[in-house]
């Protein structure tokens, strides 16, 4: 892969052949969301607990937006 860097001002840019760019783009499109991680059992349990608390009318916890209103904060 032919790569060349160019510095314009304080920014550095990478120049590469269009063929190489298209190959990298296709490879990225094939990969199934590499930036996302899988949820662990602990994560799923935390999410379920948060949803239960959110739907519980007897839970004394207030959303942050309502708490700010009560305290007179903006």
C-alpha–C-alpha distance, residues 14 and 24, integer Å: 14
pLDDT digits (tens, 9 = 90+) for 16-71: 999 999 998 998 888 777 667 778 899 999 999 989 888 887 877 777 888 888 88
What pLDDT score was predicted for residue 10? 92
Is-above-0.85 flag for pTM?
no
Q: How do the domains of the chain map onto residue ranges?
A: 3-57
Q: Exposed e or buried b for every residue in 23-35, given b needs 16+ CB within 10 A?
A: eeeeeeeeeeeee
Q: Let me know: does 14 contact 3? Beta carbons within 8 Å.
A: yes
C-alpha–C-alpha distance, residues 74 and 35, integer Å: 34
Nearest 5°: the CA angle 30, 36, 38 is: 110
What pLDDT score was predicted for residue 34? 62
């Amino acid at each position: 892969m032919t790569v060349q860097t160019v510095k314009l001002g304080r920014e550095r840019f990478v120049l590469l052949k269009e063929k190489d760019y298209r190959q990298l783009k296709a490879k990225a499109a094939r990969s199934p969301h590499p930036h996302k991680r899988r949820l662990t059992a602990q994560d799923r349990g935390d999410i379920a607990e948060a949803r239960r608390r959110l739907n519980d009318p007897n839970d004394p916890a207030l959303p942050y937006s309502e708490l700010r209103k009560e305290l007179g904060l903006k």
